[in-house]
């Protein structure tokens, strides 16, 4: 019986000019734009999946040699694997940036810290990402509230800061109308019921250059909740690259999706939403209610005592701890005088 997760368990590794650490290291399916070991046809300008075929037109320059490997870390043999590699013999300057693509995963993500898509040192340019996200809470789409943040060359503040996950991938309204495929962006997996999304954004017309280093991150939901995130970053840079970023161990559980196809309906029973998420959701929901109340009360010209001194910007600019302080303060003000906590 074929392994349904073969697109995650077949690992591609590409090496340029005799290097020991691969410049490309990724599960097979993610390399072509689709996460979770799913099969989804898509046709971007430079890569995609078309009726059983997988294509990639990323330029991959080298001077002294290249090595392409495919390693199956699963227990089921891959019965059919064929490929075509086209090589154009031309002069390649030693100083030409080399192609890189590295996959990583956090399951779960870290509360309070953005998810890292790419951290690279050297000179080059960031070219895009395939990002795959799955909530532990079935039916939730709060992860899509996360903003991308990109730091370049040691900046203290992000050079780029977005407005929402689906916005970065050129969608809107939580991808309400489902999957699509475009030349530089697309949604290949959009499963509302099981809170599972995989999308690509290719910075081909708008690469992000860096001279010293780059750090590409994205928030994982409202104030960085616990979820399952994985990503494949594409970039070019002068060698050597940082060998500590994006290494895939021969560990099936590191790559295997938590809920796929037939057993996906059991996801919420098998992977319960962590208590830390539950507590954070309570604070976030209460803060949203207070913000709406404040706007309505101000519109009528009357603000209750517990909301005095607050403004809409206090909610919009607050991180999670600041929101919690607002909620606690309002709750304390509502208590009758003399009541003990």
Residue 27: pLDDT band (50, 70, 90) is: very high
- The three-state DSSP-derived secondary structure of 264-304 is HHHHHHHCCCCHHHHHHHHHHHHHHHHHHHHHHHHHCCCCC
For residues 191 and 236, membership in a common domain is answered with: yes
Domain boundary among 251, 270, 289: 270
The model's pLDDT over 36-62, given as tens digits with 9 standing for 90+, comes to 999 999 999 999 999 989 999 999 999
CB 146 within 8 A of CB 176: no
For residues 287 and 223, membership in a common domain is answered with: no
Task: Please indicate, yes or no, if residue 339 is contained in any of the structural domains.
Answer: no
DSSP state of 163: S
From CA 335, how far away is CA 341, in angstroms rounded? 9
Task: Please indicate, yes or no, if residue 340 is contained in any of the structural domains.
Answer: no
For residues 226 and 326, membership in a common domain is answered with: no
Q: Residue 186 pLDDT more than 90?
A: yes
For residues 162 and 149, membership in a common domain is answered with: yes
Task: Please indicate, yes or no, if residue 247 is contained in any of the structural domains.
Answer: yes
Residues in CB range of 265: below 8 A, 6 or more apart: 194
For residues 242 and 308, membership in a common domain is answered with: no
DSSP state of 168: H
What's the pLDDT at 267? 52
For residues 247 and 297, membership in a common domain is answered with: no
Task: Please indicate, yes or no, if residue 188 is contained in any of the structural domains.
Answer: yes
Residues in CB range of 297: below 8 A, 6 or more apart: 303, 304, 307
User: 57, 104, 113: which is closest to 85 by C-alpha?
Assistant: 57
Average pLDDT over residues 100-120: 94
CB 39 within 8 A of CB 50: no
Task: Please indicate, yes or no, if residue 243 is contained in any of the structural domains.
Answer: yes
Which is it for the CA torsion 276, 277, 282, 283, positive or negative? positive
For residues 150 and 17, membership in a common domain is answered with: yes
| Total domain count, the chain | 2
From CA 78, how far away is CA 329, in angstroms rounded? 59
For the chain, the first-to-last Cα distance in angstroms comes to 60
Q: Residue 33 pLDDT more than 50?
A: yes
Domain boundary among 270, 291, 308: 270
From CA 226, how far away is CA 329, in angstroms rounded? 26
Look at the block and give the residue holding tokens 């799913």: 38
Domain boundary among 270, 289, 310: 270
Q: What is the value of pTM for the model shown? A: 0.85
From CA 207, how far away is CA 230, in angstroms rounded? 21
CB 112 within 8 A of CB 280: no
Task: Please indicate, yes or no, if residue 30 is contained in any of the structural domains.
Answer: yes
Q: Is 64 left (phi over 0), alpha (psi -120 to 50) or beta?
A: alpha
For residues 152 and 175, membership in a common domain is answered with: yes
For residues 223 and 192, membership in a common domain is answered with: yes
For residues 308 and 246, membership in a common domain is answered with: no
Task: Please indicate, yes or no, if residue 29 is contained in any of the structural domains.
Answer: yes
Q: Residue 269 pLDDT more than 70?
A: no
User: Residue 262 has which token pair?
Assistant: 């037939």
User: 127, 146, 230, 133: which is closest to 185 by C-alpha?
Assistant: 127
For residues 48 and 196, membership in a common domain is answered with: yes
The model's pLDDT over 159-184, given as tens digits with 9 standing for 90+, comes to 899 999 999 999 999 999 999 999 99
CATH of the domain at 192: 2.60.120.1390
User: Residue 334 has which token pair?
Assistant: 């509502």
Average pLDDT over residues 280-292: 87
For residues 21 and 129, membership in a common domain is answered with: yes
Task: Please indicate, yes or no, if residue 178 is contained in any of the structural domains.
Answer: yes
Structural domain for 106, as ranges: 6-87+95-270
């Amino acid at each position: 019986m074929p392994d349904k997760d073969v697109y995650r368990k077949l690992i591609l590794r590409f090496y340029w000019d005799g290097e020991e650490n691969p410049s490309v290291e990724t599960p097979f399916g993610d390399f072509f734009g689709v996460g979770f070991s799913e099969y989804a046809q898509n046709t971007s300008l430079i890569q995609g999946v078309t009726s059983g075929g997988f294509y990639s037109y990323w330029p991959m320059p080298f001077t002294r040699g290249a090595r392409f490997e495919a390693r199956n870390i699963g227990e089921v043999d891959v019965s059919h694997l064929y490929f075509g590699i086209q090589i154009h013999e031309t002069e390649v300057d030693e100083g030409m940036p080399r192609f890189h693509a590295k996959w990583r995963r956090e399951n779960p993500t870290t509360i309070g810290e953005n998810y890292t898509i790419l951290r690279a040192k050297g000179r080059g340019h960031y070219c895009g990402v395939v990002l795959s996200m799955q909530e532990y809470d079935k039916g939730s789409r709060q992860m899509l509230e996360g903003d991308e943040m990109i730091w370049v060359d040691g900046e203290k503040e992000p050079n780029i800061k977005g407005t929402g996950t689906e916005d970065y991938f050129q969608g809107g309204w939580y991808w309400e109308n489902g999957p699509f495929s475009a030349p530089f962006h697309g949604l290949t997996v959009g499963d509302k019921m099981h809170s599972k999304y995989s999308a690509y954004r290719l910075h081909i017309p708008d690469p992000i250059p860096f001279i010293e280093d780059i750090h590409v991150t994205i928030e994982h939901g409202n104030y960085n909740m616990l979820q399952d995130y994985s990503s494949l970053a594409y970039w070019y840079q002068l060698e050597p690259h940082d060998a500590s970023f994006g290494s895939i161990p021969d560990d099936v559980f590191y790559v295997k999706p938590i809920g796929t196809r037939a057993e996906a309906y059991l996801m919420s029973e098998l992977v319960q939403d962590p208590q830390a998420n539950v507590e954070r959701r309570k604070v976030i929901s209460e803060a949203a209610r207070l913000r709406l109340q404040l706007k309505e009360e101000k519109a009528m010209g009357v603000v209750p005592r517990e909301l005095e001194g607050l403004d809409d910007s206090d909610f919009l600019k607050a991180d999670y701890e600041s929101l919690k302080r607002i909620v606690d303060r309002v709750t304390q003000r509502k208590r009758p005088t003399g009541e003990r906590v």
